[in-house]
Structure 1
Amino acid sequence: MAMADAAAKRGTSAQNGSDILVTFNGVQKTYDGEILVVKDLNLEIKRGEFVTMLGPSGSGKTTSLMMLAGFEVPTHGEILLDGRSLRNVPPHQRDIGMVFQNYALFPHMTVAENVAFPLSVRGVSKSEQTTRVRKALDMVKLGAMENRRPGQMSGGQQQRVALARALVFEPQLVLMDEPLGALDKQLREHMQLEIKHIHESLGITIVYVTHDQGEALTMSDRIAVFNDGIIQQLDSPTGLYECPRNSFVAHFIGENNALPGIVESVSGELCSVRLASGETVQARAVNIGGVGSKTSLSFRPEKVHIEGIGPDHPNRLHGRVNETIYYGDHVRVRMTVAGSDSFTVKMRFRAGRAVPLPGEELFVAFTAEDCLALDPI
């Protein structure tokens, strides 16, 4: 399938809202009969989507993936694949490809034999196996390495073999559990794009598990942010970053400044918040209680300005510079603002542009639109 066709298919599915491939319906999981690792999972995944389950260790994301794969059994609730219940369906009968972090390749087999294994257990003829294996290896740019063994290959090449093996029998769904966790940063970023492009070209459905928020933002159509066995927010990468619904999501996705305060008034979508320093700012009322309740203000470091701020700016706070760190394309200025000594501002680096010095006192400012009033931390 061409890349444009795959994208069109996903767009159509998103619009009609009826082409659901995977459904988690009230799914719970406990290992000891007391503590729920997954508390109440309700999730629908459309055909052709790339959905990432993102969260810290112990949040329930991997357990959810393993239940979908068939390696774990739900304590309560039901999982459907293409409208069919997966209860009592063993893993090898689910038409699901799987890519693990440790690759799980057979060391005594060649690359071609590893990739052909899912076909051989399904009774595919030798001639058809040869054709499909060659096609799968060409897809991951390993056509010239079919006779090598895994021990003769780099980590990135082994991961490509594992990906080819998951795709070779043309499953309707591919699951990936931290597949890039063992790779170095540069190779990991390269493989992110490789997987994204394969997904786009084939139009397959991928459910991906990671604790790396940058990886999730780069690759996904939608991201389910897990914490404490519950999906905190299910949204597009842009939606999660720009409009987090609670303080956990705001802090887990990207860099974030947080200032505690008290809600003084609410007017439509905006509220006035008094900070610990006594200063008052305007913010978007996203997830707050009533007047007098505690809140945590959230805003991104790149949304804060430290230049050209007039005295009449509505969200103008006094600060002191603690340190500046050069990152090449930008400078991070760490400051003490409204009682927080970890307040961060991102400045684009330009030759000749003055950089604030430690100990310097200046003002920071941000718009009410870029400042979210959320649940207290």
Structure 2
Amino acid sequence: MTSQTLAKAPSFSFRSMFMRDAEPGLKTSGNEESLSPDAPAADSDTLVSFRQVQKSYDGDSLVVKNLNLEIRRGEFLTMLGPSGSGKTTSLMMLAGFEVPTSGEIRLDGKLLNNVPPHKRNIGMVFQNYALFPHLTIFENVAFPLKVRNEGFREIRYQVDKALEMVQLDKFAQRYPAQLSGGQQQRVALARALVFKPQLVLMDEPLGALDKQLREHMQMEIKHIHQQLGVTVVYVTHDQSEALTMSDRVAVFNNGIIQQIDKPEVLYERPANSFVANFIGENNRLTGKLLSRDGEQCVVEMPYGEKVIASAINVGEIGDPVSLSIRPERVVLNDAALSVQNRFNGQIREFIYLGDHVRIRMEVCGTHDFIIKMPTSQFDSRLREGDVVPLGWAAEYAHALDPV
């Protein structure tokens, strides 16, 4: 086949490249299978569902406990949590590399429990890239199409478009060892997308990259997702990565989803102390519930200070309470006069971090209370040892379960 023939291939957008219907004259992947009789209608908003899924490796302790989760078509959902929380095991069960001990996993209504990985029409991107070192970049990306017995013209067409999408079309004849880590990760992403999967799974794909490159790749992946509209399930232990990229985040701990919501909701209104402490930076104060009036409560600190807070997850009067206050929500000096919670605190330390200054203070019985202030707003007259007024609004103090 000549280059002139290839040049006549029809042009179309990246989004149409990954739609289920191929261009006229191009062969489809042939992966479509009929749905089971109890499958939802084709226009259902849910693509993936976990129903009471549990996983145990030793027949006793559960790594994943009664997982119920629905993943919407076209969304970017991140499974976030510490090591051993069950997030990666959940992803591996969806991919087919692990089998649920009990429960059901469905993709587009089709029961997956006994479907082998290569028949699930799912793309995978791993942390270690998993590229074939003896194959060129073109051949690596073409591999999923070759195993699906696509023709040469289709392979050439789709691979060229996939490499153009990740801005590596000029590197098609190089080998993985000749590329940087970030470029290799782009190749892995192109390979996961080239066969038009319904779903793409990513397991800590940026963990091996340095900070600057990792942040750059976060935006690259986010933009590709927005461009294509493909459904992505992403696993990470990096909370800033999850907040940056996701439509929704499922926070895992001890095999259970603690909270699932939009990033801004997780950050601004955590459901419990684990989420508050795991998502972003957090000041944690401990006291006891003194009173409650609807959605507000009063918490008494160990030295008698009283904090007005939002009652999110509290028990009975007299029960212990953990207060969560974000460092950027705390104000100093004159600004503290207009908020409900006002105290005096002693400055212990300044930490300059370029765009902002962290001020470590002693207040309400703790020596590690942090205030985060933009450098442009920092009062250079402040000194370590100064006692200054500080405070925060009641809506920014979240009364939660004790830690």
TM-score interval, normalised by the smaller of the two chains: over 0.9
Distance in 1, Cα, partners of 2:327 & 2:102: 42
The answer to whether structure 1 residue 105 and structure 2 residue 111 are counterparts is: no
Stretches of 4+ aligned residues off by more than 2 angstroms: 1-5, 309-314, 350-356
- Please point out which of 263, 269, 278 is paired with 1:243: 269
- Equivalent residue of 1:106, what SS? coil
The 10-residue stretch of structure 1 (121-130 or 301-310) with the greater mean CA deviation from structure 2: 301-310
Matching residue's letter, 1:234: I
2:340 aligns with 314
- Return the alpha-carbon distance in structure 2 between the equivalents of residues 72 and 142 of structure 1: 33
Describe the shift of the 1:293–1:2 C-alpha distance in structure 2 as closer, same or farther (beyond 3 A). Answer: farther
How many angstroms does 1:358 deviate by? 1.5
Distance 1:70 1:324, change over 3 A: same
Which residue, out of 294, 297, 320, partners 2:320? 294
Q: Structure 1 CA distance, aligned partners of 2:336 and 2:242?
A: 38
2:153 partner amino acid: S
**Partner in structure 2 of residue 209 of structure 1:** 235
The CA RMSD over aligned residues, in Å, is 1.7
Query: Identity percentage over the alignment?
Result: 63
* Residue 276 (1) aligns with residue 302 (2): yes
Report the alpha carbon displacement of residue 318 of structure 1 after superposing the two structures with TM.
2.2
TM-score by length of 1: 0.94
In structure 2, what is the Cα distance between the partners aligned to 1:278 and 1:18?
A: 54
Q: Match for 2:102 among 76, 80, 90?
A: 76
**Alpha-carbon deviations, 1:183-231, whole Å to 9, x = none?**
0111111111110111011100000000000000000000000000000
Corresponding residue to 2:257 among 203, 227, 231 = 231
Q: Which residue of 2 aligns with 1:328?
A: 354
- Distance in 2, matches of 1:320 and 1:227, equals 35
Q: Retained in 1: the 8 A contact 2:104–2:111?
A: yes
Correspondence 1:154 to 2:180: yes
Distance 2:324 2:95 in 1: 37
Residue in 2 aligned with 1:54? 80
Look up the match of 1:12.
Answer: none
Task: Normalising by structure 2, report the TM-score.
Answer: 0.88
The answer for the alignment partner of 2:40 in structure 1 is none
Structure 1 Cα separation of the partners of residues 114 and 339 of structure 2: 63
Q: Separation in 1 of the partners of 2:331 and 2:15?
A: 40
Gaps of 5+ in 2: 1-11, 17-42
User: What residue is the counterpart of 1:45 in the other structure?
Assistant: 71
Identify the residue that residue 11 of structure 1 maps to in structure 2.
Answer: none
Q: 1:225 to 1:355 in 2, by over 3 A?
A: farther
Contact kept, 8 Å, 1:2 with 1:202, in 2: the verdict is no
Counterpart CA distance in 1 for 2:260 and 2:297 is 25
Q: Match of 2:36?
A: none
Alignment of 1:108-147 (within 5 A): 108-147=134-173
| CA-CA distance at 1:355 after TM superposition | 5.1
CA 1:104–1:337 in structure 2 vs 1: closer, same or farther (change >3 Å)?
Answer: same
What's 2:7 paired with? none
Larger Rg: 2
Cα deviation, 1:304-328, whole Å, max 9, x if unaligned, reads 0112056685311221111001111
Q: Specify whether residues 363 and 54 from structure 1 end up closer, same or farther in structure 2 by C-alpha distance, changes over 3 A only.
A: same
Find the residue that maps to 1:308 and give its secondary structure. Answer: helix
**Counterpart amino acid of 1:25?**
R
1:219 to 245, 258, 270: 245
| 2:115 is equivalent to residue 89 of structure 1 | yes
C-alpha spacing 1:246/1:351, structure 2 compared with 1 (3 Å): closer
- How far apart in 2 are the matches of 1:4 and 1:146? 22
In 2: Cα distance, 1:233 partner to 1:365 partner: 28
Gaps spanning 5+ residues in structure 1: where? Answer: 6-16
Is structure 2 residue 214 aligned with structure 1 residue 188? yes
| 1:290 Cα offset (Å) | 1.1
Residue aligning to 2:28: none
SS in 2 for 1:277: coil
Give the 3-state SS of the residue equivalent to 2:224 in structure 1: helix
Tell me by how many angstroms 1:292 deviates: 0.5
What do the CA deviations read for 1:111-162 (whole angstroms, capped 9, x no partner)?
Answer: 0000000000001011111111101000000000011010111000100000
SS at match of 2:162: helix
Q: 1:77 to 1:116 in 2, by over 3 A?
A: same
Residue identity matched to 1:53: M
- Whole-angstrom CA distance in 1 between matches of 2:150 and 2:394: 61
Match status 1:267 vs 2:293: yes
Which moved further from structure 2: 17-26 or 51-60?
Answer: 17-26
Distance 1:314 1:256 in 2: 19
Distance 1:87 1:357, change over 3 A: same
